[in-house]
């Protein structure tokens, strides 16, 4: 059994209730997989998936969850570049299939790899997410068994997702499978594989997107409100894709279509309605995954539409073999190498956040809130690059927000 590592600063949460109540749950869905039938992921009052109820676990179930929960532990890859970790390849890449490249969020690397995993027989199932056909603004976990199904679920979904609520169904198939998900989800899967031999045996690869944070459903609801569209009338809610970045597109059953540009949606970070855990995400860069795929806009924001270019970081031998075989099979194109310093320039907001994390943990700890254990993520080295004035500002700002209840949520307990 894996033990929960000690965090750099403070302490980790001692119960799932504390994870939720202190704003560290990102709604990954692992709770439901470990305690099926007892706990379900449901939309909470803050507008995010949360395990409900939080006091029905057996002590054994709760201990198992806490060993893998992203609100408790975020594993990294160990030594390497202080921000990006160890890698075998850092390069530009995109899908070699023009239709895949066009429909996907960026350049179609994640969809291309998922398709290649299935087409080559390396995997027989992909656990990932897609729009809920009954409520297209919302998301659900999906298991794709064919390359076409992987493509049908291409594109970034910016609202709440709980991919690991489907973990048991993926394991129950009894076939080799891969997970494509956010870094926090992949971290939970990798930790869980230490405790679950069947998962360790069947999980053949993991791929993650570099992730700026998960919006709560309130962000999507506000978009519909601005357009005066009733959610029951929505037949399509595509956050991006069909171009890079492509517009957010909403279609209604009554025949209307609306498009919102990427910058109009996302330029003002204060309007993202992010889950609290995202503001202290230790591995938003996905170094826990075999492969991480990012946007590749100099300075971090698009200046227009292009054909779709990912920047990728390959972290493991499994990832390296997968990428090379996808290139050989004509499914993926590898472009120029990208140095760690060039990656910093493509993701300046991520670099700033990673440097600030230890200070933010200190602010939480000073307010009595738990932090996250970060084995292998080199956060002390990142923190050493944060100017002293910023250290004080980050600690004080996080403590102030914590004491003002900005990270506090109400967890649902059983009623008598
Ligand atoms: C919430 C969010 C925030 C992001 N922030 C950044 C950022 O700050 N910087 C940056 O460089 N890139 C960011 N990205 C990544 C970027 O949008 C692309 O996902 C990435 O470049 C991969 O592109 P692609 O064309 O290979 O993806 P695609 O080929 O379109 O594949 C996307 C895959 O991811 C899965 N997926 C989509 N949304 C989710 C989700 N919410 N949770 C779990 N799985 C999902 C899909 O099922 C699909 O398999 C973010 C993505 C998301 C979902
Ligand atoms: S982050 Fe995942 S494992 Fe942790 S409490 Fe939330 S749903 Fe459960
Ligand atoms: S920022 Fe981190 S915690 Fe938030 S969704 Fe992305 S990977 Fe998960």
What is the per-residue pLDDT across 42-70, written as a single tens digit (0 to 9) for each? 999 999 999 999 999 999 999 999 999 99
Q: What is the pLDDT of residue 271?
A: 81
Residue 205, both tokens: 């690869």
Least confident of 98-112, 268-282, 375-389: 268-282
Q: Looking at the chain, how many residues does it have? A: 416
Q: What is the pLDDT of residue 44?
A: 97
Pairwise CA distance, residues 113 & 111, whole Å: 5
Å from CA of 205 to ligand 2 middle: 22
Percent of the chain scored above 90 by pLDDT? Answer: 97
Q: What is the pLDDT of residue 269?
A: 76
Does the pLDDT of residue 268 top 90, yes or no? no
Å from CA of 129 to ligand 1 middle: 10
In this structure, the number of other CB atoms found within 10 A of the CB of residue 2 comes to 14
Does the pLDDT of residue 153 top 90, yes or no? yes
User: Per-residue pLDDT averaged across 242-267, rounded?
Assistant: 95
User: Per-residue pLDDT averaged across 6-24, rounded?
Assistant: 98
Percent of the chain scored above 70 by pLDDT? Answer: 100
Does the pLDDT of residue 416 top 90, yes or no? no
Residue located via tokens 């307010």: 367
Does the pLDDT of residue 207 top 90, yes or no? yes
Does the pLDDT of residue 106 top 80, yes or no? yes
Q: What is the pLDDT of residue 266?
A: 85
Pairwise CA distance, residues 119 & 124, whole Å: 9
Does the pLDDT of residue 12 top 80, yes or no? yes
Angle at 113 between CA 86 and CA 205, to 5 degrees: 55
Q: Say if CB 184 and CB 19 are below 8 A apart.
A: no
Whether 69 is in the pocket of ligand 2, judged by its Cβ within 6 Å, is: yes
Closest CA to 7 of 371, 275, 269: 371
Å from CA of 65 to ligand 2 middle: 7
Number of helices (H) and strands (E), helices first, in the chain? 16, 13
Rounded mean pLDDT of the chain? 97
Q: Which residues line ligand 3 (CB under 6 A)?
A: 26, 182-184, 211, 213-214, 275, 277-278, 281, 284
User: Per-residue pLDDT averaged across 127-149, rounded?
Assistant: 98
128 pLDDT band (50/70/90 cuts)? very high
Å from CA of 240 to ligand 1 middle: 10
In this structure, the number of other CB atoms found within 10 A of the CB of residue 200 comes to 12
- Write the residue with the smallest CA distance to atom 6 of ligand 2: 25
User: Per-residue pLDDT averaged across 8-13, rounded?
Assistant: 98
Whether 51 is in the pocket of ligand 2, judged by its Cβ within 6 Å, is: yes
Point out the ligand nearest to the CA of residue 212.
1
312 pLDDT band (50/70/90 cuts)? very high
Does the pLDDT of residue 399 top 90, yes or no? yes
Does the pLDDT of residue 94 top 70, yes or no? yes
Q: Report the residue among 94, 108, 156, 352 best suited for mutation to probe ligand 1: largest number of ligand atoms under 8 A from its CB.
A: 156
Instruction: Say which DSSP state 105 is in.
Output: S
Q: What are phi and psi of 169, to 5 degrees?
A: -65, -40
Q: Say if CB 212 and CB 267 are below 8 A apart.
A: no
Please tell me the pTM assigned to this model: 0.98
Å from CA of 209 to ligand 1 middle: 5
């Amino acid at each position: 059994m894996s033990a929960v590592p000690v965090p750099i600063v403070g302490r980790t949460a001692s119960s799932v209730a504390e994870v939720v109540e202190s704003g560290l749950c990102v709604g990954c869905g692992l709770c439901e997989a470990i305690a099926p039938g007892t706990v379900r992921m449901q939309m909470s009052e803050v507008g995010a998936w949360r395990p409900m109820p939080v006091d029905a676990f057996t002590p054994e179930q709760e201990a198992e969850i806490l060993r893998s929960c992203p609100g408790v532990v975020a594993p990294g890859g160990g030594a390497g570049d202080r921000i990006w970790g160890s890698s075998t390849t850092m390069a530009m890449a995109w899908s070699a299939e023009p239709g895949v490249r066009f429909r996907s969020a960026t350049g179609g690397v994640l969809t291309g790899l998922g398709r290649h995993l299935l087409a080559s027989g390396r995997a027989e199932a992909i656990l990932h997410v897609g729009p809920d056909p009954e409520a297209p603004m919302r998301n659900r976990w999906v298991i794709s068994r064919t390359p076409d199904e992987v493509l049908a679920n291409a594109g970034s979904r910016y609202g709440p997702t709980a991919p690991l609520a489907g973990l048991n169904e993926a394991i129950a198939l009894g076939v080799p499978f891969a997970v494509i998900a956010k870094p926090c989800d992949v971290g939970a899967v990798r930790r869980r594989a230490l405790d679950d031999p069947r998962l360790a045996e069947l999980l053949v690869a993991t791929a993650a997107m570099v992730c700026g944070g998960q919006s709560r459903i309130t962000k999507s609801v506000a978009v519909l409100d601005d357009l005066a569209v009733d959610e029951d009338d929505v037949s399509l809610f595509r956050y991006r894709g069909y171009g890079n970045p492509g517009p957010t597109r909403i279609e209604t059953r009554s025949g209307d279509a609306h498009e919102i540009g990427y910058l109009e949606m996302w330029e003002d970070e204060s309007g993202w309605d992010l889950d609290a855990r995202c503001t202290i995400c230790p591995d938003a860069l996905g170094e826990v995954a075999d492969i991480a795929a990012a946007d590749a806009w100099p300075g971090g924001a698009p200046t227009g539409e292009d054909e779709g270019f990912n920047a990728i970081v390959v972290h493991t031998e499994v990832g390296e073999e997968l990428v090379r075989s996808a290139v050989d099979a004509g499914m993926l194109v590898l472009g120029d190498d990208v140095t760690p310093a060039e990656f910093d320039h493509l993701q300046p907001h991520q670099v700033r956040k990673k440097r600030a994390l230890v200070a933010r943990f200190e602010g939480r700890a000073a307010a009595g809130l738990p932090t996250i254990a970060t084995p292998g993520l080199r956060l002390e080295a990142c923190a050493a690059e944060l100017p002293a004035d910023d250290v004080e500002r980050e600690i004080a700002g996080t403590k102030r927000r914590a004491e003002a209840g900005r990270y506090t949520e109400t967890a649902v307990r059983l009623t008598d």
